[in-house]
Chains A and B, each alone.
Chain A
């Protein structure tokens, strides 16, 4: 039995995530879509916090909500007039997209319902004591070379980011 606060929090956040996800793809104004996305991302980060991944939740807010969203907004302002609407594709594509998405959603949910492991553990039992991961552990995991330690991917990511910076500058530079 989970705490009522947790359940209420879950419902609120889940509702936000679901509504704004759908709103993001349904709205006709691109800036609104970006804003709704922001709500979805924040909702996701709350899920992370709830699941006990504080660091991840923080990163989610910092990188996504703080970084990427700014990029989006800038890009939108660079390429759109404020009142412009986002046109959908041809209607039949919309119908097909909707059908496929809805069918896919139903199918996936059905699959989840039939998934054998899904009912085993509840949040409470998983969040006991040792569940929270300290920054120290994360730091060790990223800088070690042992099993379950990720120095190489970490370095690879840093190079990727460097390349990304250079690439971004090169691509966007005015010639």
Chain B
């Protein structure tokens, strides 16, 4: 029964992956890669199957709020369940995770030192992420969230570059600080979420059905939960872990972190903060609209003057993730759909960026754009991929970024008051600033004359690097060309949340 639920397997497979890796010899690269490739392929297959089956079930008229729902008691005194269930959004997030885990495996094909330990932590990290997306019980969700955060410390601290200990410490401490807020918020929801006489519950759906949290508490808890998740979503004053953390992390970790882990923030924001505390969301959205609006423009401007490739992308992530939270706070279906599209798009795009930066760094041993140039001539494949990633980032039609940003802008523009208008227009300016910093990098790094004679002897991408990038580019273009099925799936999944919001006004 327990293993009969497909969702459980999304946690079981990574755990099997852990076990498999544990059995491998420390430097037996063949076995390690074998386990990683097998399991990540299985996960990818499962995710694709899940998406297809989800769409099929929806098409067949299954209107349940969540599918594959199941719940097992875990700890009776506090009524903690291992409750799983997915809607259209979680399904897509699982798919995103699988794609990035898959691509990340190939991107870290030659990780050194301690390959086995690296992949062990990497698998643990993905276990946490998968667990987070399948959970509908706040406690297990939080638990998986922490499981995803902690390996980050070691992954950055051991396999990172530059000021890795500092960055790892900063990242972990700031995110843990965020989770402290979050825990407070979750406990508040737990204690206030059920009406008199009912047992307290952690289950998100049940709490939303009760809709029992009184307005005063909602406001407080909304701030706690939104800030808690917002830290992970790199919201303006709490984003500073991101540049250092990303800059120092190894390639695959940057990919997974920017690609998926930052999405946990956005996902949590709407799944818990907005969904369970709709009144407060309506009341207090403006505060966070200001902060996220600042994030968008601020991140973009900061990225314009950076010289380290990873810093540029980290600030660009601040800008793009700001866009995600910004759109969620618009509290209407279109904008929130755009937010999810932006999550997917940003996940794939940033993963691609970090993968490419890792590959370039692996060859030139520098990430300073002033010391490189004309890479198109030396490594045309990577150069072209970098340009494609850049175009995806600046919102070229036919790439996912365009779809996401446009959906966000059109959704956000539904608010007719001056406050929203000003912030939406400020947010739209980011598409120009993004173009500025992307083209600045492309112009200096990829195009132009060759900067360093030593680079002339460098080689182009290997097959595993090509596989990794092609996977991501295919997904980016896939979303960009055929966005409508995604958009519809997401819009449908937002119905309960938007209904809750409408009820709470």
Do A and B touch (CB < 8 Å)?
no
Chain A residues proximal to chain B, CB less than 8 Å: none
